[in-house]
Amino acid sequence: MTCIFGNELFFTSYFAVKKMTDCQGDGEGTMSPMELFEKLNAQGEKVRSLKSAKAEKAEIDAAVQLLLKLKVDYKQMTGQDYKAGCPPSENLIVSNNGPAADDCDGEDLVDPWNVSASSTKGVDYDKLIVRFGSSKIDKELLERIEKVSGQRAHHFLRRGIFFSHRDMHQILDAYEKHKSFYLYTGRGPSSEAMHVGHLIPFIFTKWLQDVFDIPLVIQMTDDEKYLWKDLTLEECHRFTVENAKDIIACGFDVNKTFIFSDLDYMGASPQFYRNVVKVQKHVTFNQVKGIFGFTDSDCIGKISFPAIQAAPSFSSSFPQIFGGKKDVPCLIPCAIDQDPYFRMTRDVAPRIGLLKPALLHSTFFPALQGAQTKMSASDPNSSIFLTDTPKQIKNKVNKHAFSGGKDTVEEHRKYGGNTEVDVSFLYLTFFLEDDEKLEKIKEDYTSGALLTGELKKILIETLQPMIAQHQERRKQVTDEMVQQFMTPRPLNFKF
Ligand code: TRP
């Protein structure tokens, strides 16, 4: 699938709005690079819309002059040329010009609502790191995580499933000095049905909670799903409770975990709402348009929602847990499509006197049909659901899992299969923990010794018990337990 957007920030110019708010303004000098970038986006649009509306020449000239002036300011501030669709990378004043500007023409679309890649191998994650301005989880960071935690790195880390980060070194520096941190992750409860891909961040977060022994907050954005989907508030809240059961079934420690519904907690926690309002005051409509692609006809609930996803990044949003402390660092494990929310959060944080959250980003869990897109709960054939029976798992894998094998057995034996695009193999990288076994499968499939049907069988036999065990654990999660996890209360941990 070819995709027209190279970057989530490109939405600004793609969904060009006819009438822009006035962006002539003062004091670029006090702006952050991101703000200046958004301002440039808006000014570019303004010039375009004046031209297409055949406005007075003088008016167009004035707008162009301002655009040029802003470009000069931008270059001075960042050392980079402004390029629409290429946001400034963080810390760019100290960074070199790098390949950032050149790499924005990729065809992968990645934002909180869409993921599609131009290649069958899936999204080019190295390019995404450059485009988003995050950092690669390299060998050095892996070794540090192992050293500080005293544990072998989780296979999601070893295999590059969590591949990118922001400020993870700072989290480890602090932890080494006995300064604790907390974890924040979330889930948009859009239906009762969760699929195996949804578990990835939770499985990993549980590991982090265990090895670092730290508190965790899980935001259920039922408000977000109400705003974005054709669902009632009651349905969204019910999905929160149902999804919370699947999350709890991952094994979180109730003494260290707080799960909350936005619909409940926003109204119940004055401190949380205060942080939401602070963020709202410091982000303009132009900025969220630039970051999320909102248009003038999006409802105002969507436009202000990013502040609600930002708020849990600040420890002061949870006085019952942190006793009003503002400076407990936050680490957010999430899929990389959520990064736009946290780029915004990190941009705002210093301006409201709060700490920037650190992040660990994962790749997407591919759809059965191939790595070009992620699993989607709305297409039953693209996903393995947590409620699937062993038979359904078998049928789905056999019928729908995209194969990197050859068309005939003879050809396959001769040329071998391609593990880079083979969905069954990709799923095994997520769920088969044994490195040696996985390596052997890779060798055998590549050489042609292992056939597609045999590979699928290995996957089926890995998924069936895993999902059956999940279902067993979920059955044990009672409404009272959900209630317990969702009650605001102190958590058990040492600072
Ligand atoms: N917006 C996310 C979703 O739709 C839910 C979410 C809220 C989240 N806060 C988060 C995900 C923090 C990861 C980290 O699924």
Per-residue three-class SS string for 6-46 = CCHHHHHHHCCCCCCCCCCCCCHHHCCHHHHHHHHHHHHHH
The single residue listed with the structure tokens 């869990």 is 365
pLDDT value, residue 213: 95
Q: Please tell me the pTM assigned to this model.
A: 0.80
Ligand 1 pocket member 78 (CB < 6 A): no
Where is average pLDDT lowest: 40-49, 261-270, 387-396, 412-421? Answer: 40-49
* Cβ count near 309 (within 10 Å): 25
Distance CA 335, CA 5 (A): 19
Percent of the chain with pLDDT over 90: 71
User: Is pLDDT of 131 > 70?
Assistant: yes
- Amino acid residing at 174: A
pLDDT value, residue 276: 98
Distance 6 CA to ligand 1 centre (A): 23
Ligand 1 pocket member 188 (CB < 6 A): yes
Q: Given CA atoms 433, 436, 439, 441 in this order, what sign does their dihedral have?
A: negative
Ligand 1 pocket member 332 (CB < 6 A): yes
Distance CA 129, CA 135 (A): 6
Distance 12 CA to ligand 1 centre (A): 22
Ligand 1 pocket member 87 (CB < 6 A): no
* Cβ count near 269 (within 10 Å): 19
**b or e along 310-341 (b: 16 or more beta carbons within 10 Å of the residue's beta carbon)?**
bbbbbbbbbbebbeeeeebbbbbbbbbbbbbb
Distance 186 CA to ligand 1 centre (A): 4
Q: Given CA atoms 220, 222, 227, 229 in this order, what sign does their dihedral have?
A: positive
The overall average pLDDT reported for the chain is: 87
Distance 269 CA to ligand 1 centre (A): 19
Distance 187 CA to ligand 1 centre (A): 5
Please compute the mean of the pLDDT values over residues 19-34 and round it to a whole number.
Answer: 45
Closest C-alpha to 315, from 176, 167, 181, 485: 181
Percent of the chain with pLDDT over 70: 89
Question: If residue 47 lies in a helix (H) or strand (E), which one and from where to where?
Answer: helix 33-52
CA separation, residue 303 to residues 308, 338, 345 (Å): 10, 16, 14
Position in ligand 1 atom list of the atom nearest CA 312: 9
Ligand 1 pocket member 43 (CB < 6 A): no
pLDDT value, residue 34: 80
- Among protein residues, the one with the nearest Cα to ligand 1's atom 3 is 188
Ligand 1 pocket member 416 (CB < 6 A): no
Contact between 10 and 84 (Cβ < 8 Å): yes
Please compute the mean of the pLDDT values over residues 31-43 and round it to a whole number.
Answer: 82
**To 5 degrees, how large is the angle CA 110–CA 112–CA 114?**
50
User: Is pLDDT of 22 > 70?
Assistant: no
- Among protein residues, the one with the nearest Cα to ligand 1's atom 6 is 186
- Among protein residues, the one with the nearest Cα to ligand 1's atom 8 is 186
Where is average pLDDT lowest: 77-81, 145-149, 205-209? Answer: 77-81
Closest C-alpha to 245, from 185, 188, 194: 194
User: Is pLDDT of 106 > 80?
Assistant: no
Distance 185 CA to ligand 1 centre (A): 6
Contact between 215 and 258 (Cβ < 8 Å): yes
pLDDT tens figures, 434-467:
999 999 999 999 999 999 999 999 999 999 999 9
Residue 426, sorted as left (phi over 0), alpha (psi -120 to 50) or beta, turns out to be alpha
- Among protein residues, the one with the nearest Cα to ligand 1's atom 4 is 188
User: Is pLDDT of 27 > 50?
Assistant: no
Among 41-55, 56-70, 118-132, 192-206, top mean pLDDT goes to 192-206
Distance 448 CA to ligand 1 centre (A): 41
3-state secondary structure of 484: helix
User: Is pLDDT of 404 > 90?
Assistant: yes
Distance CA 132, CA 104 (A): 10
pLDDT value, residue 417: 97
Distance 79 CA to ligand 1 centre (A): 33
Where is average pLDDT lowest: 101-115, 208-222, 365-379? Answer: 101-115
- Among protein residues, the one with the nearest Cα to ligand 1's atom 5 is 187
User: Is pLDDT of 196 > 90?
Assistant: yes
Ligand 1 pocket member 486 (CB < 6 A): no
The single residue listed with the structure tokens 């969905």 is 423
Ligand 1 pocket member 446 (CB < 6 A): no
Distance 226 CA to ligand 1 centre (A): 14
Distance CA 171, CA 167 (A): 7
Distance CA 421, CA 471 (A): 29
Contact between 386 and 378 (Cβ < 8 Å): no
User: Is pLDDT of 264 > 90?
Assistant: yes
Where is average pLDDT lowest: 62-71, 139-148, 393-402? Answer: 62-71
Closest C-alpha to 211, from 154, 162, 280, 287: 154
Distance CA 248, CA 476 (A): 10
Position in ligand 1 atom list of the atom nearest CA 334: 13
pLDDT value, residue 232: 98
Please compute the mean of the pLDDT values over residues 278-296 and round it to a whole number.
Answer: 95
Q: Which two tokens stand for residue 161?
A: 């499933």
| Residue 92 Cα to chain centre, angstroms | 22
User: Is pLDDT of 399 > 70?
Assistant: yes
CA separation, residue 284 to residues 177, 272, 276, 306 (Å): 37, 20, 14, 11
